[in-house]
Amino acid sequence: MAKSRNEKFRFRDALFEKFLTANSWFLLIILLIIFVSLVYTAWPAITQIGPSFITEDDWNPTRDIYGALPFIMGTLLTSVYALLISLPVSLAIAVFLGEFSSAGRFPRFIQAMIELLAGVPSVIYGFWGIFFLVPLVRKFQIWIIESFGLNEELIANGFGLLTSSLILSIMIIPYSASVAREVITMVPADLKNAGYSLGSTRFEVIRKIVLPYARSGIVAGILLSFGRALGETMAVTMLIGNSDKMPPGFFNPMSIFGYGNTLASKIANQFPEASGMGLSALFYMALILFGISLVINVAGRIVILKMEHKVS
Amino acid sequence: MENQINLNPKQVRFRKILDGLFTGLVYFFAVIAIIPLFLIVSTIFKEGMQAIHPTYETEAHLESGLPAEELSLQVNSGAHYLGEVDSLLGIRGDSIGYSAKSSDIFLIEPGIVQGNLKIDVIPDKRGEATVTVYALNNSDTVGRRDYSISVNGGVFYNISTFLTRPQPPHGESGGGVANALIGTVMLIFIASVIALPTGILGGLFLAEKGRTRMGEAVRLAMEVLQGTPSIVIGLIAYTLFVNPFGGYSALSGGIGLSIMMMPIVVRTTEETLKMLPGSLKSASYALGAPYYYTVITVLLPAAIDGIITAALVSIGRIAGETAPLLFTSFGNAFMSHNVFEPIAALPHLIYNYATSAYPESQILAWGASIVLILLVLALNISSRIVSKRIGMK
């Protein structure tokens, strides 16, 4: 007996819903597969090297010593420096686009330019860094050596932590700028107007009303761009000078001459020749990198969510 | 009370100065932010145009009867540019190049051995070019001379040549980005075929059942996926699709890229669908249509602008990605249409040639950067146009 139209519809609807659910399971499973395959390939390294991977500061595959600390430090250093350099710029853009003028052709132009900055591929950033930044940094390094009478044997060829941090800072500006801008536009006008009516200058209103109100959004933007900086591979690989030694510590002035590697750049550089335990160690590093950016990104999104709940 | 309104004129002036300083600082930093963009784009175009084979024709004469080391080339004044493909230096010879009669002219393709002569041309930035003539004896270079010639008049850039020739070996000029361009297109195609249907259906699911536990899980998964570093995704694609199958392939690269596309497609589709008026769905139900039919004939067509935006934005994201391709599609010096073989890609090409020691390779990398940045720009602008049509932010 032929099905009635209703029966046909219900059958197809049930099928469609199952199809949608299956597709969603597929999306979830992708994430699971990513995690599982990372752990699987890293397993030999995890079991043999263990947690000392994170504290060991020597990377010497020929002697079977695998320590990821130099690369973790390199990753954190470049990302933190990049964040600090980009922070005033991002905040300025956010304030400019959110507070000073949100309509009009010039702000829209700046807005478009910022979005374009985000769209430039990272290899082009790296290439331009080699071509443009490296000579500049080299001149700067030479100038520092000469004016402070430092050891002439210091390597001053323009590559290293300084250049990578500079390029990273340019790359992450759009992320914190756009999130911060959105929050700043959400500050209620009556709060600001109350400040103005009491005679505050624009600077004071921004400093005492807008920014504190937008604080969580700004923090979210910072976390987001930090996460972006942590995972950036190509531009950093091309500029960081590829050294396996421990980089100079935080705010150590020697960082101007410091070489290093980030987790991502080490993986990119070492992978073609890696095998066996070395390959496993690289995947161990990828797992660590995955974990760090996971934490930062999820934290950023949580802050955004809390912010949206507060506003609505 | 420190929050009293302070109308002391001196302090008011001080606060006004502070305000002015602050405003200046904001403008200053805002402009600083976009200076790198202009620098990057101008550098790309300035350096990259050299790669697009300016061609020109000139008259040149060879002195006859000289041994190879004394090969000399006389260039007439009045050299000018022509728009002909592959027309280069005019040198006519009988057999061996260096016994040519003067005042005869024929054309030699750059880089290609013709008789016993090979000619290479490297344009300089200032309207001059360095011509290198190699005298060969059974494909051994027995002599070479460099000449500097100046070129007047208009320059015709050979975009079509640049886009149709495959990449040259390192250190050689000429060549183009054809294999990388085709590779990028193929990778985008593979990635889109996988990511677009999956992502659209995912967005549909989230728009319908976003508040359930499953919906929250999917949303979280997409957040995590979007924040994953691209090199980690490349490693995954290697583990799953390169190692077991014993070789690099375009397919594995496309799969890696599709994983990066999915979160964007899901999120944008969900937002678009949520922005549709609820009356659309209700009207369809009221007319007796079931859910699946409503989706196909009402919701998706209404959301098509947002879906196109999702596609354009996500493609723009992956068009410039290199890290997932390093260990998957691996790059290929030749033109390839095979998805099961390694394949070149524009950003990958740029990475390889930018870090090369040869200036000729770096020039090619700049040329490829022009193509890539134009591609990304086109995607960016079109996604902006489409999203404006539906009023999305």
Question: Mean pLDDT across the stretch B198-204?
Answer: 94
Check residue A83 and give its pLDDT: 94
Our CA-based measurement puts residue A185 at a distance from the nearest CA of chain B, in whole angstroms, of 13
Query: How open is the CA angle B23-B26-B30, to the nearest 5 degrees?
Result: 145
Question: Mean pLDDT across the stretch B269-277?
Answer: 91
Q: Report the range of poorest mean pLDDT among B137-151, B240-254, B353-367.
A: B137-151
With beta carbons less than 8 A apart as the criterion, state whether B171 and B362 touch. no
Q: Is B246 left (phi over 0), alpha (psi -120 to 50) or beta?
A: left
Burial of residue B335 (number of CB atoms within 10 Å: 0-12, 13-18, 19+): middle
Report the residue from B29, B204, B290 with minimal CB separation from A88. Answer: B29
DSSP labels, B208-222: HHTTSHHHHHHHHHH
Dump pLDDT digits (tens) for A135-154.
Answer: 999 998 888 888 887 777 77
Check residue A172 and give its pLDDT: 94
Instruction: Report which of residues B145 and B61 the model is more confident about.
Output: B145
pLDDT > 70: what percent of chain A? 98
β partners of residue B90:
B59, B107
What whole-number distance in Å separates Cα of residue A284 and Cα of residue B235? 11
| Average pLDDT of every residue of chain B | 76
Question: Mean pLDDT across the stretch B121-143?
Answer: 60
Chain center to CA of A203:
30
Q: Residue B36 above 70 pLDDT?
A: yes
Q: Residue B101 above 90 pLDDT?
A: no
Question: Mean pLDDT across the stretch A245-262?
Answer: 81
Check residue B150 and give its pLDDT: 54
Q: Distances in Å between the alpha carbon of B72 and those of B68, B95, B102, B138, B141?
A: 9, 16, 11, 20, 16
Going by the DSSP 8-state scheme, the letter that residue A62 receives in this structure is G
Contact A296 B16 (CB under 8 A): no
What whole-number distance in Å separates Cα of residue A64 and Cα of residue B381? 51
| Residue that is written with structure tokens 């004044």 in the block | B77
Going by the DSSP 8-state scheme, the letter that residue B93 receives in this structure is -
Contact A290 B228 (CB under 8 A): yes
Check residue A27 and give its pLDDT: 93
Dump pLDDT digits (tens) for A110-140.
Answer: 888 898 999 999 999 999 999 999 999 999 8
Contact A297 B223 (CB under 8 A): yes
Question: Mean pLDDT across the stretch A21-28?
Answer: 93
At A75, the pLDDT band (50, 70, 90 cuts) reads: very high
What whole-number distance in Å separates Cα of residue B343 and Cα of residue B162? 18
Check residue B158 and give its pLDDT: 66
At B237, the pLDDT band (50, 70, 90 cuts) reads: very high
Burial of residue B318 (number of CB atoms within 10 Å: 0-12, 13-18, 19+): buried
Contact A126 B16 (CB under 8 A): no
Query: How open is the CA angle A106-A112-A118, to the nearest 5 degrees?
Result: 140
Whole-prediction pTM: 0.83
CA-based nearest residue to B375, from B356, B355, B350, B353:
B350
Check residue B70 and give its pLDDT: 41
Question: Mean pLDDT across the stretch A271-297?
Answer: 89
What whole-number distance in Å separates Cα of residue A106 and Cα of residue A109? 5
For an interface test with A, give the residue of B25, B26, B258 to mutate (most A CBs within 10 A).
B26
Instruction: Report which of residues B205 and B364 the model is more confident about.
Output: B205
Our CA-based measurement puts residue A159 at a distance from the nearest CA of chain B, in whole angstroms, of 13
Check residue B75 and give its pLDDT: 37
Tell me whether A271 touches chain B (CB under 8 Å). Answer: yes
Sort out which chain A residues have CB atoms less than 8 A from B231's CB and list them: 231, 233, 264, 267-268, 286, 289
Sort out which chain B residues have CB atoms less than 8 A from A40's CB and list them: 239
Beta strands per DSSP E along chain B: 54-55, 58-62, 73-75, 89-90, 107-108, 117-123, 128-137, 140-150, 156-157
CA quadruple A141, A142, A143, A149: dihedral sign? positive
What whole-number distance in Å separates Cα of residue A283 and Cα of residue A275? 11
CA dihedral A264, A265, A268, A270 (to 10 degrees): -110
Q: Residue B42 above 50 pLDDT?
A: yes
Residue of chain B whose Cα is closest to the Cα of A172: B33
At A35, the pLDDT band (50, 70, 90 cuts) reads: very high
Q: Report the range of poorest mean pLDDT among A237-251, B74-88, B298-312.
A: B74-88
At B103, the pLDDT band (50, 70, 90 cuts) reads: very low
Q: Residue A257 above 70 pLDDT?
A: yes
Residue of chain A whose Cα is closest to the Cα of B348: A123
Q: Residue B140 above 70 pLDDT?
A: no
Query: How open is the CA angle A24-B294-B223, to the nearest 5 degrees?
Result: 25
Going by the DSSP 8-state scheme, the letter that residue B107 receives in this structure is E
Contact A21 B214 (CB under 8 A): yes
| Encoded tokens for A217 | 């959004």
Q: Report the range of poorest mean pLDDT among A63-67, A159-163, A214-218, A278-282.
A: A63-67
Check residue B230 and give its pLDDT: 93
Check residue B129 and give its pLDDT: 60
Our CA-based measurement puts residue A154 at a distance from the nearest CA of chain B, in whole angstroms, of 23
Dump pLDDT digits (tens) for A46-73.
Answer: 888 888 888 888 888 777 788 888 899 8
| Average pLDDT of every residue of chain A | 87
Q: Residue B74 above 60 pLDDT?
A: no
Contact B22 A206 (CB under 8 A): yes
Q: Backbone phi, then psi, for A104, in 5-degree steps?
A: 100, 165
